[in-house]
Amino acid sequence: MSLYEWLLFLHVLAAFALVGGVVAYGVVVLAGGGDVVRRTLAVPALALWNAGGVGVLVLGIWLAIDAYEVWDAWILAAIVLWFIASAAGGPLSRDVREDKALDLGAARVRFAVMALATALLLVDMIFKPGA
């Protein structure tokens, strides 16, 4: 395998982990199940979200340097979407980990933002507008 193929494989794997984190947070805030589900999923969701988020960003920029230009419009859009997803996902992951009762309304808004930004990231990665 070439370096590009390794980077692409690990980048896509990180994206799968990122979506795994989104799904786990979705189960916590949407599926019910109460504290037992929240306690069970809090750490795996955080691990997937963080490892996936760091992986897609670092490996994505590496790929961009190797195969594209970092200032391409679709890559800049991806970085903006990554920050939007992180801005919503960070507070959500903190709230899910804390012992106090979860404000479900706020948690669902944050989840919607992180899920939408992540979905748009996928669309941006495949359509590559402006490439």
Partner 1 sequence: MLAAVRPDAWNLPLVVHVAGAMLLVGALVVVLVLTAAALRRGDGAAVLVRLGFRGLLLGVLPAYLVMRVGAEWVASEEGVGDPAWIGIGYGVADGGLLLTIVATVAAWRASRRDDAGPGGLRRAVVGLSAVLLVGYVVAVWAMTAKPT
Between the CA of residue 11 and those of 35, 65, 78, what are the distances in Å? 33, 14, 13
Residue choice 37, 51, 102, 104 for contact with partner 1 (CB under 8 A): 37
Binding segment toward partner 1, per CB under 8 A, in 20-28, 71-79, 90-98, 102-110: 20-28
Q: Is 58 in the site for partner 1 (CB under 8 A)?
A: no
Nearer to partner 1, 15 or 78 (CB): 15
Q: Is 102 in the site for partner 1 (CB under 8 A)?
A: no
**What is the spatial distance between Cα 71 and Cα 85, in angstroms, rounded to a whole number?**
20
Q: What is the DSSP letter of 71?
A: T
Residue choice 55, 56, 65, 66 for contact with partner 1 (CB under 8 A): 66
Residue choice 40, 50, 62, 113 for contact with partner 1 (CB under 8 A): 40
> Which alpha helices (H) appear in the chain, and where do they start and end?
3-30, 34-67, 73-97, 104-127
